Amino acid sequence: MVAPLRVGIAGLGTVGAEVIRLIEQQGRALSARSGRGVRVVAVTARSKAKKRGVDLRGIAWAKNALALAGDPGIDCFVELIGGSGEPALSAIEAALKSGKSVVTANKALIAKHGLRLARSAEKYGGALNFEAAVGAAIPVVKTLREGLAGTGVNRVYGILNGTCNYILTRMEQEGLSFAECLKDAQRLGYAEANPSFDVDGHDTAQKLAILASLAFGTKVAQSAVYVEGISSIAPEDLRAAEELGYRVKLLGVAVRTAKGIEQRVHPTMVPKSSSIAQVMGVTNGIPPITLVGPGAGGAATASAVVADIADVARGIRAKPFGRPVARLRATTKAPMERHEGGYYIRLMARDLAGTAATIATRLAEQKISIESIVQRHPDGVDANGAAKKPSPVPVILITYATHEDAVYRALEAVQRDKVISGRPQVIRIEKN
């Protein structure tokens, strides 16, 4: 009879406690699927006295993560500490060097040190599994690394941050401002007290860097990702998107181009008829082989961790990034100025003679063709029936495919002409 897989868990927050609970609840199913039992035999965390809602009797308590990683009584080290550096980095390296397999949900660490850790896994023979680092319960890492190993991938994109998707969904459905939705997301626990990592796009960028490596055989390089967040999105942009047949999502997009791999994170208009547009709330989604599921929360993340543990129990030892580290190609940051696609542009045009002609001229100078134009005419009288003073008028343009540098050259010229107020709003469009 095969001995059970002995698991040690470092980090007993929401996810760690849920992993212990799932292994306890699904013990028989895990044993049947894996061909051997799975047992949590040791744990460690900052506080031993904290109540976690799980029974830790019979489970050894290690002094710290590094001690647990070196414990000869475990076969699989599960890192749920978080952070892009210590103590998680040294603990994982120690576990791999001792021949253990490692399971982690730490996207920051994999995005920064994934290649270093993958080399150790290759050298010492253990697995390095990180399904929970991207998309939580969505098995996108396994799909790219193993399921699509024989398929050429030209683009991978998706909604990779549940906080941003929740905020944009609420803004669209309820007409609320970004600030109002963010405050509510914090109250509900979907957003951190300091939400900048999520709403500024950096969380999505880390996940995209990992997916791009798996999809295209490149080295993980978060610095190669162009990043924009969602704080500039206004309710009027979402209303305009609705009228024009689009929906706004924060997407991570990695695409193979003639000049290399373009990696970008930014608010994007997508057709309402597309599968990605139907992904609402805190859900994540990765088409075109559409993978949709919970993208956040302890239960969702824990389920991915347990799935990775089950693979270790089965004896699966896939290359962490789908191929040997020595065969991963370097990648550089693609200049967004050469990005080609359609654009949504919202301008506040001054109510002056010749304004529309000036805007049209500047766009034409850059060879930008307009697919549609919407001009909103405000009510010309106040509550007392008196004529209002002229005020800027919203003008919304949808362009055909063009280059990003052409769009910004045209808008800079329009601003110099002083026919618009404020800063233009520009949102890229992904047609499919």
Q: Which residues are annotated as catalytic?
A: 207
Cα distances (angstroms) measured from residue 381 to each of 236, 352, 389, 392, 398: 22, 18, 9, 15, 30
CB-based contact 226:338 (threshold 8 Å): no
What is the 3-class SS of 252-321, one letter each residue?
EEEEEECCEEEEEEEEEEEECCCCHHHCCCCEEEECCCCEEEECCCHHHHHHHHHHHHHHHHHCCCCCCC
Question: CA 163 to CA 139: how far, in whole Å?
Answer: 19
The DSSP secondary structure of 14-52, one letter per residue, reads: HHHHHHHHHHHHTHHHHHHHHSS-EEEEEEE-S-SSS--
The residue among 323, 322, 318, 205 whose CA lies nearest residue 254 is 205
CB-based contact 96:120 (threshold 8 Å): yes
